[in-house]
């Protein structure tokens, strides 16, 4: 299985959206492209969710000491 590449996937997703917006496809082609676009979208979201969980933010506590917090904890 080829390694998932976010940037390439986003370009493919943009191409898919452009094809669908043109309206030149048959119903079957539109459905196939839509399903492919949804699959790519879900892969991108899954990757971003995983990355968000890994990102940490450095913050200072009241004593001026640096602490690492998960980005989701800093909201």
Which residue did the predictor score with more confidence, 4 or 64? 64
Which residue did the predictor score with more confidence, 59 or 18? 18
pTM of the model: 0.67
- Kind and range of the H or E run holding 38: helix 27-54
**Residues of 55-69 as b/e, b for ≥16 C-beta within 10 angstroms?**
eeeeeeeeeeeeeee
Tens of pLDDT, residues 22-68? 999 999 999 999 999 999 999 999 999 888 877 777 777 888 888 87
State how far the Cα of 49 lies from the Cα of 40, in Å rounded to an integer: 14
Q: What is the pLDDT of residue 42?
A: 95
């Amino acid at each position: 299985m080829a390694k998932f590449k976010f940037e390439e996937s986003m370009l493919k997703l943009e191409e898919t959206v452009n094809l669908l917006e043109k309206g030149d496809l048959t119903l079957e082609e539109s459905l196939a492209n839509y399903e492919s676009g949804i699959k790519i979208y879900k892969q991108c979201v899954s990757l971003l969710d995983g990355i968000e969980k890994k990102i940490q933010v450095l913050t200072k506590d009241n004593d001026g000491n640096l602490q690492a917090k998960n980005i989701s904890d800093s909201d």
